[in-house]
Amino acid sequence: MNRGEKVLSLAKKIVRELKPYCKRIEIAGSIRRKKPNPGDIDIVLVAKNEKNKEMIKIKLSEDGRFLQGGDKKMFFRINGINVQLFFSVSDEWGATLLAYSGKKGSNIGLRIVAEKQGFKLTSHGLFRNSNGKKVAGKTEREIYRSLGRPYKEPWDR
C-alpha cells in the first residue's frame, strides 16, 4: 500500500469513527478533488454539540497526537499523517467545504470574482460588501449560483 492509499484509508476510518458525533462530515482537500496521492487529510464537519467537539478531540488523540486547535479547527498527527478538522455550522457548510476543498488558485480566483461583483467570499459565506448581509453559504452550488457562475465539481477546480 503506497502513502496515498494509506492516507485515503485513514481518512475513511476517521470519518467512520467521528460520524456518531457529527450532524454532517465530509472529507475535503486533495482527497475530495480526487488527487492520486494525497499527503494529508482535511475534514469538514458539523458537530452535534460542543460536548461532541471534545469527544472528537479525545477520540482522535487516542489514534494519534493532538497538535493544536480549538473551536474552529483542530490539527492532529496520526500514523505520520497530518489530519486537519475544520468545524462548521449548517448555515455555512457550503462555504466551509468550498474553502477547504478547492486548490489555492481556484479559491483566490473565486474570491476575486466575488470582489468584482461587490461581494466578500469567506469560509463563512458570501456577503454583500455594501451592507454585510449574507447571500449564500449553505451549499457550494448556492455560492456559485449567487456569483452567476456555473458550478464546478471539486476535481475540476
Average the pLDDT over 23-28 and give the result: 98
Q: Which amino acid is at 25?
A: I
> Under 8 Å CB-to-CB from 1, ≥6 apart: which residues?
9
Q: Which helix (H) or strand (E) holds 89?
A: none
The one-character DSSP state at 148 is T
Whether residue 20 has pLDDT greater than 90: yes
Delimit the domains of the chain by residue range: 3-87, 92-150
Q: For residue 104, what pLDDT is reported?
A: 82
Q: How many CB atoms within 10 Å of residue 46?
A: 18
Q: For residue 1, what pLDDT is reported?
A: 75
Q: Categorize the per-residue pLDDT at 100 as very low, low, confident or very high, splitting at 50, 70 and 90.
A: very high
Apex 142 CA angle, 36 and 32, nearest 5: 10
Beta-bridge partner residues of 78: 81
Find, among 105, 98, 104, the residue nearest to 151 by Cα. Answer: 98
CATH number of 3-87: 3.30.460.10
CATH number of 92-150: 3.30.210.10
The verdict on pTM exceeding 0.85 is: yes
Q: How many residues does the chain have?
A: 157
